[in-house]
Structure 1
Amino acid sequence: MNKFLSFSVKKEVKLRHSAPQIWKVVSSPGNLELFHPFCKTNETIKWDNPDGKKDKLEYLSGLTYFRDFYQWEENVGYKLFIGTKEGKKSKVEWKITNQGKTSFLSIEIFPYLSSKYPLIINYLLFFTVVKPKLKNYLLSVLKGLVWYMDNKEPVKENQFGKHKWFSKVS
């Protein structure tokens, strides 16, 4: 059963850079290694292919997700599915909005609805666990992008704090 919650988590950041400058970073192969504070590796599987782009994201925690891009609009954004290789996938949308010398980048995650639980349990889990954790996660990723764009140097592991799901377990 392939359902998505009608719920989503979205965060946005303002950048002092043009849409093409942001696009150059977020659309390059292996881009997450530059600004994602929980990324151990971001290996390209298929990038210069007209049928779509795919990559593999290994988190500091050891969790490995695969990203399968299904919509790609230059200087605007992309949409993708993310999840384990054979497992359930969540939908993610990256969108750049240009406003002169500044731009906004938003990331919105539509988490997968588990068929293991009734709708009410999914609802409670989303608002009490998933949404707060994903908000924190997205804020760290977006802060990482701002850091990289402004300083032209990659972020450090957990630069903006650790995350229970994606940081290395101590």
Structure 2
Amino acid sequence: MYVEAEKTIKTSRLKLLQAIREPSNLENIHPFCKENKVDKWPGKGSVDYVKYLNGVKYRRDFIKWDETGYVLDIGVKRRLAQVEWLVEGNSEQSSLKITIKPELPYRNGIIKWFAWNLYIKYRLQSYINNVVKGFAQYLDTGIRVPKNNFGKHSWYS
């Protein structure tokens, strides 16, 4: 189970990598982020916190950090999902692909299947599409993405 969103951006791969590695970068690019506080930065072992517009707060633990991007675990007391930010491209254009692999709390396989296929997958896909759009918009304009810029989200607005 996973969702992913990808966007091609007219900027170099190195500039895109630099942008995703900025401390507190979600405050500029994320349409549902109220604040993004850094505890430890940069590199593997980095830790930051994302507070959403609705007050929900998650910890992000960066478990991989290399020339293609990074992988992080996000959650509160336990991992809710693993998220990969992958950057590809060249000196003229690049792409950002974000993949979310959630860990659903349901032990019953039937309940898990229905929850994923009838609800969670669609809410999560809408969310990640908006995050990638926000990132591309910020890189194009240099202007902080307004809150709920692409519409409200039932989980995070």
Task: Please report the TM-score for the alignment, with normalisation by the length of structure 2.
Answer: 0.95
Question: Percent same amino acid at aligned positions?
Answer: 37
Deviation >2 Å, runs of 4+:
none
Matched residues in 1 for 2:69 and 2:79: separation? Answer: 23
* CA deviation after TM superposition for structure 1 residue 83, in Å: 0.7
* CA deviation after TM superposition for structure 1 residue 117, in Å: 3.7
Listed as ranges, the gaps of 5+ residues in structure 1 are 1-6
Matched residues in 2 for 1:70 and 1:88: separation? Answer: 12
Residue in 2 that maps onto 1:102: 93
* CA deviation after TM superposition for structure 1 residue 89, in Å: 2.8
Aligned letter for 1:130?
I
Aligned with 1:158: secondary structure?
A: coil
| 2:12 counterpart of 1:22 | no
Residue in 2 that maps onto 1:82: 74
Residue in 1 that maps onto 2:108: 118
| 2:42 counterpart of 1:52 | no
User: Bigger shift: 35-44 or 14-23?
Assistant: 14-23
Deviation track 1:12-54 (CA, whole Å, cap 9, x = no partner) reads 1110011111111111110000100000000001114x66100
Aligned with 1:78: secondary structure?
A: strand
User: Bigger shift: 125-134 or 52-61?
Assistant: 125-134
Aligned with residue 144 of structure 1, among 130, 134, 148: 134
| 2:128 counterpart of 1:135 | no
Task: Please report the TM-score for the alignment, with normalisation by the length of structure 1.
Answer: 0.88
Deviation track 1:60-119 (CA, whole Å, cap 9, x = no partner) reads 011000000000013x110000011x13431110101114511111000000131x4401
Preserved CA contact (<8 Å) 2:29 2:145: yes
Matched residues in 2 for 1:59 and 1:107: separation? Answer: 18
Preserved CA contact (<8 Å) 2:87 2:95: yes
Aligned letter for 1:47?
W
* CA deviation after TM superposition for structure 1 residue 142, in Å: 0.7
State the number of aligned residues: 157
RMSD: 1.3
- Cα separation, partners in 2 of 1:71 and 1:38, compared to 1, 3 Å: same
Matched residues in 1 for 2:70 and 2:63: separation? Answer: 8
